[in-house]
């Protein structure tokens, strides 16, 4: 059986790993949103007045959208939500 110090060290390592992954995910999401904003602007700029947008370009933009919630995708891959330890289980993503 693990000692309390070993368990604390393991928890500290998992915490550090999670915080790094969370930071990386937030940065990646921000970059994705910025790129999508540019793609949307360029796609809209290609629209023909009175005729509307180019369906081919609109479909390519639509293909880049994140359509399913990440938690739902993970559940579909066999992961399960965990409702366990702690009183504040909400993480803010800005």
pLDDT at 91: 59
Q: What are the tens digits of pLDDT across the range 2-44?
A: 799 999 999 999 999 999 999 999 999 999 999 999 999 999 9
Residues 73 and 61: their CA atoms lie apart, in Å, by 21
Determine the pLDDT at residue 51.
Answer: 85
pTM, two decimals, is: 0.71
Q: pLDDT tens digit string along 12-21? A: 999 999 999 9
* DSSP string computed for the chain: ---HHHHHHHHHHHHHHHHHHHHHHHHHHHHHHHHHHHHHHHHHHTPBTTTB--HHHHHHHHHTS--S-HHHHHHHTT------S-S-------
């Amino acid at each position: 059986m693990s000692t309390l110090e070993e368990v604390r060290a393991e928890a500290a390592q998992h915490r550090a790993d999670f915080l790094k992954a969370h930071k990386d995910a937030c940065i990646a999401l921000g970059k994705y949103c910025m790129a999508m904003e540019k793609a949307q602007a360029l796609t809209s700029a290609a629209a023909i007045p009175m005729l509307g947008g180019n369906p081919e370009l609109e479909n390519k933009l639509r293909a880049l959208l994140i359509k399913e919630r990440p938690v739902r995708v993970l559940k579909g891959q066999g992961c399960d939500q965990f409702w366990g330890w702690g009183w504040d289980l909400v993480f803010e993503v800005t």
